[in-house]
Chain A
Amino acid sequence: MSTRKILVVGNGMVGHHFVESLVGLDTDVDITVIGEEPRPAYDRVHLSEVFSGREPADLAMATRETYENWGVKAHFGDPVVRIERARREVVTQGGRRFSYDKMVLATGSFPFVPPVKGADNKRCLVYRTIDDLGHIKATAKDSEIGVVVGGGLLGLECANALRNLGLQTHVVEFAPGLMGVQLDDGGSKMLRRKIEALGVSVHTGKNTQQIVTDEATALRMDFADESALGTDMIVFSAGIRPRDQLARDSELAVGERGGIVVDYKCKTSDSDIFAIGECALFGGRIYGLVAPGYRMAEVVASQLAGQAEATFQGADMSTKLKLLGVDVGSIGDAHGRTEGSISYVFSDERAEVYKRIITSGDGKTLLGAVLVGDCEDYDTLLQYFLNGIELPAEPESLIVPAAGDKPLLGAAALPMTATVCSCHNVTKGCIIDALDGGCCSLGDVKGETKASTGCGGCAAMLKNVVETELSARGVVVDKSICEHFPYTRQELFHLAQVGEIKTFQDMLGQHGSGRGCDICKPAIASIMASLWNEHVLELPHVGLQDTNDTFLANMQKDGTYSVVPRVAGGEITPDKLIVLGEVAKEYGLYTKITGGQRIDLFGARQHQLPEIWRKLVEAGFETGHAYGKSLRTVKSCVGSTWCRYGVQDSVGMAILLENRYKGLRSPHKLKSAVSGCTRECAEAQSKDFGVIATENGWNLYLCGNGGMKPRHADLFATDLDDETLIRYIDRFLMFYVRTADRLQRTSVWMDNLEGGLDYLREVIIDDSLGICAELEQQMAAVVGTYQCEWTTTINDPEKLKRFRTFVNSDEEDSGVVFVQEREQIRPARAEEKIRLVASSK
């Protein structure tokens, strides 16, 4: 039997998810993908973020290489124009033919533009693809006023985009209220009130008759009620229509109002053709959200992999989102249309919060809910709804802000099938499997299941489930740093700070037991350094340090050390380069350029370190802290000074940042970079804090890293001036230093913060904890007490005693043996050593 040919028409989010799912099932099939757009699938849900600084490339869900690696043939920019079912072939615009055994249509939808006279004006646009964004941006350049036609979910998302482009923004809606599908009247009114307070004008019940050109503004919209609105551009975002033309032309069954009819296996009227996502009509309904589309994709992938029982049963359309910064949630029957249902409403016009729950007549089952202005209750309500859990005796207590605590829906009450994360379809059962498979923290579970890594809305629920499950299995999550201190690193930091404890012995005496170990000693030494910034080789601290800190150099496998002087921002003069070369030559050191734009000198014996550093310090070098859990380097590209494309002086900023934070001891090493333009040559997005220049200032990215588990940094704030940038980084670093676990990089730290990036923004930008002044002060103290650890050391005979190889002899360690390779030294391997030692005897 030859390999089955699977043809996927369409490469949007759902089409891509299908391919990913099928590849993941590891079946022997030959997959071909044909996409209309010139680029592989990207994240349409977060399209509007491009207007607040995100790069279109960041939205990509796949690259051509991804498909290549999967062995999938992919063709972009040449759409299918005809299906020839009899021959099981399709024809593209470019005239290419592809045959199939099974075909999956994932053609998606197109934006609905109402048939209004004048809507074909070139200043009338739609909002659907990356290319559309480009047109919107270009038209906005010479516009002051922008109108969005459509007050639904997409329309408001689009209004946010126009607002971010600096336009005076209007929303025009045909229906009497905003988001009529998801919200009831009360919720809709509250949403309108909040949006208007943001400066967006809302016009409801408006039926556009015609669009004409005008003198004052570029365009004028005339409405049926004889009112009019002047504007410079119009974006239609009034709903979607399934793209079913291919199906129609090939006489597949389609719905009366569009959509390719599919059954519960997502099969069309031709059993060799499936349709998934927004082009498919299931049970008389188009599912215009990404999650149901993903379910359909998985159902078809499973079938093609031989799991015949997979079916699509319809999907819950409950949704929670932030529109123009307003929290909006809608669950089930939001309008209370179920016969015999009753509802409970809470409205607070001062705080601008509206909540309503709709229950069965006996008040025992939740049928629907509307939340505007406060979505805190969403997760709990959704679980009641999805799992049919019986409501408490007084259902209103679920939404009314009571003096005491709300009745909590414990994680234990959830059935195994309860969906915790709807973005990635992670059930309570999946979480338990992950825990059974060895995960033992929230961060582990997130990494394993992807739960809470989509919209992040389920963060609190996920934490609840993980913690409940861990304690249910008797796993006492012991966060003690080691047997000597029954505290976490964060608690120890707090104890040291509040108690003004300055030595390990005092810490042990007041809060610990025993003598300490190689876990708690360096951790507390680091806390002492962050708080009081005394020299790490001062007597009370010297025995606490890992060998790298003790000898202010990095121990290598043979017990010798490497030396890395600071080269801030990677900028170095020829004179200094010559000094490095001369020192390396004099001591016969191996030299290598590091990834952090510095020069590493290997093979120094411990007694040579002070001599080497005396020469380096004399030449103006400082210690590079390559040995410490501390700031390593701030890498930079060449920036606007030399580069044709640079928009800011990235080298200058990198040097400023590196000199500001050098010497800061932290829970783990810290890396940073500054790029002078969006081309990002310094790779700032792979750093703990990365800075990318914009025409208006700097974008700040936080919590990225390379290494074993690479993670892109998240865009934290945009277009900052120098002062604000540094203030935010001060706060970020100190908050991390204060609260992270030992050896926890910033990325894992943030993943374990409840609320993640948003929470971090609240703390750092909005000062929600009221600690920003203190954080800044603490940073100022560290910056103010900086000393080059090597300069101090070479001038202190007591400290230098420690660098002797032997306390009673000037001999060298005979176990250190080098051989030559590529014109430099390297440590001899065991068998080489034996040979060399034998021949010397």
Chain B
Amino acid sequence: MEAVKQDQWEVVCTRSDLVVNSGVCALVNGEQVAIYYLPDTERKVYALGNRDPIGKANVMSRGIVGDLGGKLVVASPLYKQHYALETGACLEEEGVFIPCYDVQLDGDEVHVRAAG
């Protein structure tokens, strides 16, 4: 199992394509993935789907990141709801989620695991 998943990791860009304390968007296996770079956190990179489930547009990579009550969040640039970077859960609307993607830095490369 583990080996199969390993195969789904894809190199999408380099660290210099990321923007510190902000997001960019990559196209992974036909899906839009927002990648956030927070270099002073343990994980350093976080990835969520780029689609705003409330605003219904592909804009999440363009939101402001920060923290609320200790949770790392990104705010939708359309209607300002917050989504946890770790889980994709919306803080304001219960039951609303954005899909999470596995992401990691390997040296200068940014790897994202496409949804299976």
Contact = CB atoms under 8 A, between A and B. Distances in A.
Interface string B17-47: 1111110111110001001001000000000
B58 A813 contact: yes
A521 interface: yes
Nearest to B11: A808
A545 B13 CA distance: 24
Given A543-B21, A808-B13, A518 B75 contact: yes
B13 A807 contact: yes
B56 A830 contact: yes
A546 B25 contact: no
Contacts of B27: 806, 808-809, 811
Interface in A690-743: none
A643 interface: no
A555 B62 contact: yes
A822 interface: no
Nearest to B23: A543
Contacts of A801: 17
A806 B26 contact: yes
A517 B64 contact: yes
B67 interface: yes
A200 B116 CA distance: 90
Contacts of B28: 808
B66 A516 contact: yes
A404 interface: no
B77 A547 contact: yes
B96 interface: no
B24 A807 contact: yes
Nearest to A548: B77
Interface string A514-527: 11111011100000
B55 A518 contact: no
B51 interface: yes
Contact of B58 (A515, A522, A815): A815
Contacts of A514: 66-67, 70
B72 A515 contact: yes
A122 interface: no
B66 A518 contact: yes
Contacts of A804: 24
A813 B57 CA distance: 10
B59 interface: yes
A294 interface: no
Interface centre among A514, A520, A542, A559 (most CB of B within 10 A): A559
Contact of A802 (B12, B19, B55): B19
A521 B66 contact: yes
Nearest to A539: B20
A517 B30 CA distance: 31
Contacts of A483: 68-69
A807 B17 contact: yes
Contact of A807 (B12, B55, B75): B12
B67 to A, nearest CB: 4
Contacts of B32: 806, 813, 815
A398 interface: no
Nearest to B69: A483
A144 B32 CA distance: 80
Nearest to A827: B57
B26 A557 contact: no
Interface residues of A, number: 37
B22 A521 contact: no
Q: Is the interface of B mostly helix, strand, loop or mixed?
A: strand
A208 interface: no
B58 to A, nearest CB: 4
A812 to B, nearest CB: 10
Contacts of A515: 21, 38, 65-67, 72
A545 B51 CA distance: 20
Contact of A543 (B25, B64, B68, B75): B64
B5 interface: no
A789 interface: no
A598 to B, nearest CB: 23
B88 interface: no
Contacts of A816: 58
Contacts of B59: 547, 555, 559
Interface in A790-820: 801-802, 804-809, 811, 813, 815-816
Given A543-B20, A802-B19, A808-B12, A518 B63 contact: yes
Contacts of B68: 483, 517
B31 to A, nearest CB: 11
Interface in A530-564: 539, 542-547, 550-551, 555, 557-559
A495 B18 CA distance: 31
Given A807-B12, A808-B13, A543 B67 contact: no
Contacts of B35: 807
B78 interface: yes
A517 B66 contact: yes
Contacts of A807: 12-13, 17-18, 24-26, 35
Contacts of B82: 518
Interface in A222-257: none
A813 B61 CA distance: 13
Contact of B64 (A518, A539, A811): A518
Contacts of A606: 62
Contacts of A551: 62
Interface in A472-528: 483-484, 514-518, 520-522
A511 to B, nearest CB: 16
A520 B56 CA distance: 26
Nearest to B57: A559
A543 B63 contact: no
Interface centre among A483, A518, A606 (most CB of B within 10 A): A518
B109 to A, nearest CB: 11
B78 to A, nearest CB: 7
B73 interface: yes
A609 to B, nearest CB: 12
Contacts of A517: 64, 66-68, 73, 75
A603 to B, nearest CB: 13
Nearest to B10: A808
B53 to A, nearest CB: 12
A655 B22 CA distance: 37
A590 to B, nearest CB: 17
Contacts of A813: 32, 58
A435 B48 CA distance: 42
B57 A557 contact: yes
Contacts of A542: 19, 22
Interface centre among A516, A808, A813 (most CB of B within 10 A): A808
Given A801-B17, A802-B19, A808-B12, A547 B62 contact: yes
A493 to B, nearest CB: 20
A559 B17 contact: no
Contact of A805 (B18, B21, B25): B25
A518 B78 contact: no
A806 B67 contact: no
Contact of B78 (A522, A544, A557): A557
Contacts of A555: 59, 62, 77-78
Contacts of A516: 66-67
Contacts of B26: 806-809
A682 to B, nearest CB: 33
Contacts of A539: 20
A515 B67 CA distance: 6
Nearest to B52: A559
B25 to A, nearest CB: 6
Nearest to A811: B27
B20 to A, nearest CB: 6
Instruction: List the 6 closest pairs (A to B, CB-CB), nearest first.
Output: A517-B66, A518-B75, A547-B77, A543-B22, A559-B57, A543-B21
7 contacts: A514-B70, A515-B38, A518-B80, A520-B66, A557-B57, A806-B25, A807-B18
Given A518-B80, A806-B27, 11 more contacts: A517-B64, A518-B82, A543-B65, A545-B64, A547-B59, A547-B62, A547-B63, A551-B62, A808-B12, A809-B26, A815-B51
